Amino acid sequence: DAGVIQSPRHEVTEMGQEVTLRCKPISGHNSLFWYRQTMMRGLELLIYFNNNVPIDDSGMPEDRFSAKMPNASFSTLKIQPSEPRDSAVYFCASSLTGILYEQYFGPGTRLTVT
Amino acid sequence: KQEVTQIPAALSVPEGENLVLNCSFTDSAIYNLQWFRQDPGKGLTSLLLIQSSQREQTSGRLNASLDKSSGRSTLYIAASQPGDSATYLCATPSTQKLVFGQGTRLTINP
């Protein structure tokens, strides 16, 4: 398997623009996680899907953030409008089922908002 | 609330040494504990997952141990190599999320 695939790998955008990050989980994995990593706050879970249904979105910082999982092989994280403080590395991870199983991370998307 | 701590934040050792990385957690009622490696600018790579019923888990030169009663896990790296240089994170699931330590940045000097 190719592992978790994320695109784009790097994104530079201006404040106020819409940003869409994409993730393809490992085939056969039923759970998908979006994380954000910054030097100040470390790794934070933003949202977690199980069988395409959001289970916990308590980590989504504001209404500007939204995530969807229209099918088992694709998820998006959207920021609209983006702000400089959103600059971070965003990771997608997947597991067989839920948080109790081993999580496999994608390479991340480095987002810079100017 | 589960809290995970990794001390020290950074460690530098000469090549060839055996070393131990530490991970402490506050709530001993854990389900499992996972060790990850993160190279600069890259994602996390899962190294080992140790279940609560296990005391040890081994993969190659890596050995993870778990002592729930003392709230500790250790990652032992044998015969360290420069390629082992990375940040090592531990994490355990708690209330619908993985709780991560801040990581130990390991440098192996040739």
pLDDT at residue number A23 = 98
Q: pLDDT tens across B4-41, in order? A: 999 999 999 999 999 999 999 999 999 999 999 999 88
* Interface residue A48 vs chain B (CB under 8 A): yes
Q: Token pair for residue A43?
A: 């790794």
Residues of A in contact with B49 (CB under 8 A): 102
Please report, in tens digits, the pLDDT of each residue of chain A (114 residues total): 679 999 999 999 999 999 999 999 999 999 999 999 998 888 999 999 999 999 989 889 889 999 999 999 999 999 999 999 999 999 999 999 988 889 999 999 999 999
B98/A99 touch (CB, cutoff 8 Å), yes or no? yes
